[in-house]
Chain A
């Protein structure tokens, strides 16, 4: 099973700042990594797939990078609406499809 480890667990930043979220895989997943955003009481939403491709309707301030075992989600200029929990997910080696434990992003 591929274990995904996200860091930091919590991130507290101000509007307009840049957020950098990390996801590390226990073995290579090539580019088969996605990022999801989940706001309280809502279903998750796909942000980034195949490591660096934005899903339909996702603002350009969200970007993804990485390959193999180390991946990054960057939010270039934070808005208050970006407050959420962010999960990474891999589908290179499955079953099982696995998720990271999440990073909580707070906008001060």
Chain B
């Protein structure tokens, strides 16, 4: 069974840093592009970042570019999101999502999400 499990969320103050993890299982992780998507309380979905299978390219939403870093460890079947200089606007549930196939980047499946709360 394909499974994605996020961890690392928590309660932080503005300006602090946090690293999220996503553990993948049930598929050949190193051959799929991966994404982070977030959802602020009561709001819609916002794509955050993407990383290619071989890490040769990464892309970010403007709202996080320069503050967040997406990375992966294919040997550990793990995806990461390093979040620096957090603001209250970063409060959200963060989902990791796999590209549907090895050649397209529709999001399937998704993890259950991990909550990040930034508050003064």
Contact B59–A95 (Cβ < 8 Å): yes
B46 neighbours in A (Cβ, 8 Å): 99
**How far is it, in angstroms, between the C-alpha of A105 and the C-alpha of B8 when the chains are bound?**
32
Known pairs A49-B106, A55-B100, A87-B44; A95 contacts B50 (CB<8 A): yes
- Which of the segments A40-48, A59-67, A70-78 contacts the partner chain? A40-48
Contact B60–A95 (Cβ < 8 Å): yes
**How far is it, in angstroms, between the C-alpha of A64 and the C-alpha of B47 when the chains are bound?**
22
Contact B47–A97 (Cβ < 8 Å): yes
Known pairs A49-B100, A49-B106, A87-B45; A96 contacts B112 (CB<8 A): no
**How far is it, in angstroms, between the C-alpha of A82 and the C-alpha of B120 when the chains are bound?**
39
- Which chain B residue lies CB-closest to A98? B47
Number of interface residues of B (CB under 8 A): 22
Contact A97–B113 (Cβ < 8 Å): no
- Which chain A residue lies CB-closest to B93? A43
Contact A44–B107 (Cβ < 8 Å): yes
**How far is it, in angstroms, between the C-alpha of A55 and the C-alpha of B97 when the chains are bound?**
15
A interface footprint on B39-54 (CB within 8 Å = 1, 0 otherwise) = 0000011110010000
B112 neighbours in A (Cβ, 8 Å): 42-43
B interface footprint on A68-108 (CB within 8 Å = 1, 0 otherwise) = 00000000000000000001010100111111111000000
- Which chain B residue lies CB-closest to A44? B110
Within the complex, what minimum Cβ distance (angstroms) separates A2 from chain B? 12
B45 neighbours in A (Cβ, 8 Å): 36, 38, 44, 87, 89, 99, 102
For the complex of A and B, 3 pairs with smallest distance between CB atoms: A43-B110, A46-B108, A97-B47
Point out residues on A near B: beta carbons under 8 Å.
34, 36, 38, 42-46, 49-50, 55, 87, 89, 91, 94-102
With A45-B108, A46-B100, A91-B105 given, name 17 new contacts (CB 8 A): A34-B107, A36-B107, A38-B45, A44-B95, A44-B110, A46-B108, A49-B104, A89-B107, A95-B47, A96-B59, A96-B61, A96-B62, A97-B35, A99-B44, A99-B46, A99-B47, A100-B44
